[in-house]
Structure 1
């Protein structure tokens, strides 16, 4: 009871400070408001202060994908934050917790950026962010790659020049490289265990296109935003797009290089909408599915089409699995590979999921780009 009463007391202070209750915060209210900030910054964030941090959460503007905490300008600077617009009716600034190499965070929302963000990174070696749990009720971390531009994989599909790796979690995370802006990952974490580490390892060779801005969000164990176990990626809309990491969506190919990354093994999950009984998968573009085989040896007119696709037991190296899949010709198949994809594949098996697998060697499968798929949940499953 005391904890609940205190929580509401803090909430009242915040509402008054923002001007929702009073036109302007009094000196006493400002002092109490600063006590909230001190508690949040101390690292001693027990469950009592979960709601308080949620109240303080802000966004620089209506279209921003970044989140911050409403703090006085001086406190934002003292914690290494970046002010991005005002909040609390001008009483505070929306402070983005921005971190770079060798730094750590215990905020629920943090942006991990390359040194000298807004400029290409010219450094080398491992650049690591340590993510400490914000409290004892954190079971998952979501990484949103607002920007992630690293060196491409080598001709075998391996990330040997630059790569991003995640360690310390309770789930396996594949190593990725190349162009992955707009992609995301969910990582399960044990609330009782140590920190998660997000590392961008850079080769000594300078690259004009190497930079990153990764939004790191800590997800409570009881949150509706938590992804199901086993899902590296999780989509909650009834329709959308799914791409393999480093997918090249251009309708032309460099026939000497792969952009598909080797050694990938993960699940892509789609939240079933209420009243939806199935899901339909289609390729995004004509060139939206090239995962196995030798691209230069087939006619360009066949690339991406059902005629260039393979299914079932013939898919042994690189492939996707759609459990319960049925193609547009009513053939029941759940494993798909090759240099094309059926016109559509539908499944009524729940949960809706697609599994992705690539082996360790792409050298014999030239110029593959991976996949760009669009999905749509359906209500007519007869």
Structure 2
């Protein structure tokens, strides 16, 4: 991390006073030392003390009388001790500066956003907005906002609509370019804190509003405006420092008060919270819930033209994973897994599996590697593709719990660009997952 510094400097008058005081200290020390040096080399009665060295290296002090230099002995053999000739300073110099250092760590801004702890000057220089204090008041919590046509390299930048915090009712393309803050960045994490846009058209495409990420996913807000779940995505940043990522929001169609706020955080390559490569969504924990984009059992429609992977981190001492469709309390029959077929009516649509035969999945599907029903007798069927209107690895209208032991735990979502007239009323999917311990018998 970098460090911020705050310098507190005294006034001119105080500086001159301190220098003068220091000069007095030094003068007093020299004077005192000179007095001491003049007193050394004398006997108590005031006569000069002489020193001679014998051949054995012993030192003798001759007091009282002056000792004549022997004949033939040159001057300099007899030495006189005059005391110390250097002045040692005590280090009593008063500091003129106070330096405060703090790390540029994440901080909680007074606005409720995530920011970076910087000095006030550095925050302004880098285009941020100060929102609260940090580092015991020496720094400010700096929040970075960016909008259409801009670029950023700051960690945890918020991509907002034009006119934020107000709504945006225009049409066109809104792009943001993301550059790495450091060459060791491997991923960008996107948190859709606010995403209030128009829903998809009846054919399940997002013509009114799309959010395209490397042509990987297209998002729309469901028709029900009360649904406000935070969507999280992970985008691989590539290798090196020359791989910018462009986020593109395209708006068209009739008037609608749109607004969005996407937090973009940068993830270093060697961190434990980095998602697996190629995973648009990434979940951790022994149990949890995963949904397709735009899923809602009452009004959400499955989106077309989807191709992405959902990954679940395999926790320690767990070797398998089970999936069950979520409860549906809205419809007379469950719509928690409706990927293909006409599921608009009250009659259940059976599951379809595989790639061959009349009940195969060749248009829209969910891939769970080598999946099989829990409790199946006989040899387990190893199915990859599942589609239709029922979550089951066999042809059935009754949902089943499905297990897979293929590692890593990864699901793949695919929908084509044709929904009508064959696919009607599909909601997508909602699945609850529970990882299975390695001690369990995972064959049944």
* TM-score category of the 2 structures, normalised to the smaller one: 0.7 to 0.9
CA distance in 2, matches of 1:120, 1:76: 27
- Offset from partner CA, 1:82-111 (integer Å, 9 cap, x none): 333321122222211111112211112111
Matched, 1:334 2:371: no
Shift of 1:78: 4.7
Identify the residue that residue 132 of structure 1 maps to in structure 2: 179
Question: What SS does the aligned partner of 2:344 have?
Answer: helix
Structure with the greater relative contact order (CA < 8 A, sep ≥ 6): 1 or 2? 1
CA distance in 2, matches of 1:335, 1:77: 53
CA distance in 2, matches of 1:244, 1:15: 49
CA distance in 2, matches of 1:120, 1:226: 33
Identify the residue that residue 353 of structure 1 maps to in structure 2: 410
Contact between 2:180 and 2:241, CA under 8 Å: does it hold in 1? no
- 2:367 maps to which of 312, 321, 345: 321
- 1:119 maps to which of 146, 158, 166: 166
- 1:374 maps to which of 425, 432, 438: 432
Shift of 1:276: 0.7
- 1:260 maps to which of 273, 298, 302: 302
Contact between 2:292 and 2:428, CA under 8 Å: does it hold in 1? yes
CA distance in 2, matches of 1:135, 1:315: 43
Identify the residue that residue 315 of structure 2 maps to in structure 1: 273
Shift of 1:355: 0.9
> Given the superposition, is the C-alpha separation of residues 73 and 193 from structure 1 closer, same or farther in structure 2, using an over 3 Å criterion?
closer
CA distance in 1, matches of 2:321, 2:187: 26
CA distance in 1, matches of 2:361, 2:370: 16
Question: What SS does the aligned partner of 2:431 have?
Answer: strand
Identify the residue that residue 63 of structure 2 maps to in structure 1: none
Identify the residue that residue 239 of structure 1 maps to in structure 2: 287
CA distance in 1, matches of 2:260, 2:202: 23
Question: What SS does the aligned partner of 1:29 have?
Answer: strand
TM-score (norm 2): 0.67
Q: Runs of 5+ in structure 1 lacking a partner? A: 1-6, 18-25, 34-51
Q: Decide which structure has greater helix share.
A: 1
Superposition RMSD in Å: 2.8
Shift of 1:14: 6.8
- 2:352 maps to which of 279, 304, 310: 310
Pairing 1:87-102 to 2, within 5 Å after superposition: 87-102=134-149
Identify the residue that residue 270 of structure 2 maps to in structure 1: 222
> Given the superposition, is the C-alpha separation of residues 117 and 343 from structure 1 closer, same or farther in structure 2, using an over 3 Å criterion?
farther
> Given the superposition, is the C-alpha separation of residues 118 and 340 from structure 1 closer, same or farther in structure 2, using an over 3 Å criterion?
farther
CA distance in 1, matches of 2:265, 2:149: 19
Shift of 1:27: 5.3
Identify the residue that residue 216 of structure 2 maps to in structure 1: 173
Identify the residue that residue 207 of structure 1 maps to in structure 2: 256
Pairing 1:172-191 to 2, within 5 Å after superposition: 173-179=216-222, 181-190=229-238, 191=240
Question: What SS does the aligned partner of 1:324 have?
Answer: strand
TM-score (norm 1): 0.77
Contact between 1:269 and 1:353, CA under 8 Å: does it hold in 2? yes
Count of matched residue positions in the alignment of Structure 1 and Structure 2: 325
Shift of 1:219: 1.5
Shift of 1:274: 0.3
> Given the superposition, is the C-alpha separation of residues 354 and 381 from structure 1 closer, same or farther in structure 2, using an over 3 Å criterion?
farther
Q: Spell out structure 1 runs of 4+ moving beyond 4 A.
A: 13-17
CA distance in 1, matches of 2:338, 2:114: 36
